[in-house]
Amino acid sequence: MSKRDYYEVLEISKSASPDEIKKAYRKMAIKYHPDKNPGDNEAEEKFKEAAEAYEVLSDDNKKARYDQYGHAGMSGAGGFGGGGFGGGGMNMEDIFSQFGDIFGGGFGGFGGGGSSGRQQIKGSNLRIRIKLNLEEMVNGTQKTIKVKKMKMAEGATSKTCPTCGGSGVQMKVMNTMFGQMQTQTTCGTCQGIGKVADKIPAGANAQGLIKDEEEISINIPAGARDGIQLNVRGKGNDAPFGGIPGDLLVIVEEEVDQIIKREGDNLHQELYVSYSEAALGTKKEIPTVGGKVKITIDAGTQSGKILRLAGKGLPSLDSYGKGDMFVHINVWTPQRLNKEQRDFFEKQMSSGEMEAEPSGKEKSFFDKVKDLFN
């Protein structure tokens, strides 16, 4: 079954502001909230669908990718369940832990959980950096890394909190001038979880967690950029007592290329040619992020000429299409000449046949810079 367009799900236009997106989600979430529609599977699915749409459209980076690539661009970029947006692992606890505050206190947790102070604890997030070369940024890639994280120790068990009886709250009665007043506070023993540690294996902390190493595969989508953060759901530190694992936040770093330099979506590289090649013309093979290509150097090419290879840059995150590759031609002046070469150049100089004769049509440096942006 194909996914519905996220804007259609929230009944908003693509130009909707962040505030409009939030209001639209709140409207849908309240309409299909499980507490208002008990036992209605269709309403529950629509509730999840709205949460999935909001999770993407409320994040500037994810929204930009979705606007450009649609649902196909979301795969592997994080989201509910850690398997991409709508990867099948989304559950109500994910939704309430991430977006619970958007209901403004109108509802509690799933299944009437609002009547209890018991909290669903979430493990802490982990943050790592991954270096990508230009080819990986353009085409996307999969990285398998080892991450040290806190995991529930084997054999660790928990029991119902003896202070609150598993409710997560404590009731306090205070005597005031108006009579007795009853207040509800988070349980100080279990911190609102409702459970405390029972058996703790050797090496584990007081919450039954132990540091361990896990191998994680991360899908990097095509068009990733330096500084972009990808969210791999549920691959952070475990939470104690069956809580929700934290997330793995992957920050992309660009690996500096020795030949090709990036400027936004455009790429630049310098190409050196000899006097003979510039005068007579030639063909040269150059590297691009999509593989090597051959370009033509016209006869009479001057040093400083810039060749433009359309669409050989990076995919744009803000619009459709790709950037360009600019090849900057430099005519290499030989530094050492043998006697035959020196005699040739001296003869040409004395005859005046190879004197510099600008036609007046040559572009200045500033004209070339202006051309790059036109």
Does 7 appear as a known binding residue?
Answer: no
Sign (positive or negative) of CA dihedral 67, 70, 76, 80 = positive
Does 164 appear as a known binding residue?
Answer: yes
- Alpha carbon distance 75, 309 (integer Å): 30
C-alpha closest to that of 245 among 29, 84, 56, 98: 98
Neighbours of 335 (CB within 10 A): 5
Judge contact between 168 and 117, C-beta under 8 A. Answer: yes
Does 133 appear as a known binding residue?
Answer: no
Does 161 appear as a known binding residue?
Answer: yes
Annotated binding site for Zn(2+): 161, 164, 187, 190
Binding-site members are: 161, 164, 187, 190
